[in-house]
Structure 1
Amino acid sequence: MKLSTKGRYAVTALADIALQGPDALVSLADIARRQDISLAYLEQLFVKLRKAGVVDSVRGPGGGYRLAKGAAGTRISDVMTAVDERLNAMGCDGKPGEGCGGVEAACLTHALWEQLSSHVYVFLNQTTLADVVAGRMEPCPAVPDFTAMLEEEEATA
């Protein structure tokens, strides 16, 4: 699993649209300016988001994009899938009857990566754009200050 700029920028752009209100049509140029994202890159992402039914578009003067299902109906997992982000940390493709690395059996760590993938999917599937823009993203109870933990690990390395 690798979270690339595709997923990050797609969620950021859609959060920007959500903040403009449910009926607002938002131009990609406005999003690009407010979020400091390349307009050309947004255009590529929004082709995929529109095809996946995440956004609707209106052409012409005053046109733009809006969330097809509103902020509360837009799951982050759907956004990530629409822009081809891989939510699977496993090294194999998980096809029935096929193992990892071209062999029939699963690799030694298959269950570990499968569980990680499941947790990430559940989290992103339960989280909507409404949660993101309303500030309802609470720190993980197990690691309430993840950034500080990473900084501490880097300092001791």
Structure 2
Amino acid sequence: MRISTLTGTTLASAAAAVVGSVVTKPAVESWYPTLRKPRFVPPNWVFPVAWTALYADLAVTSAATIDGLRDVGDDAARRAYIGALGANLALNAGWTWVYFGQHRLGGASILAAVLTASSADLALRSARVDRRAGVALASYPAWCAFATALSTSTWWLNRDG
């Protein structure tokens, strides 16, 4: 794995995390505790641990995938993967802003579902390059699917009327 590729995917993942954390922290301290939540919501400390691990996994797996595609000379697939990764990270940060920043639970639930599909797409693209990379990244769409269920359930419990 090239250091330059890993640096790029790490910086991109970290940027998404930072963008999201800007609105998450204040909302977790004020607005989020006022919501009715489903019984399966994990304790608050689980989220930063899970997301840190997932962002690290995404950075490493994406770097390996991008380098693998470069090594076999598939520049079109490499560019497509980089574009898909960028879109995924934008969706990831966007969900946080819609949910925690705008308090739009319905919109956030839709974004979470799209993020899940995007994450599954990244895992499949990685698996085509190296099966182990796809397996390593499988926890990301699994967590996003859980987040979709959690977001949607929270929306349902807090809907008006």
Q: Confirm or deny a common fold (TM above 0.5).
A: no
Greater strand proportion: 1
User: Which of these two proteins has the greater Rg computed from alpha carbons?
Assistant: 1
Question: Which of structures 1 and 2 has the larger relative contact order (alpha carbons within 8 angstroms, sep 6+)?
Answer: 2
Greater helix proportion: 2
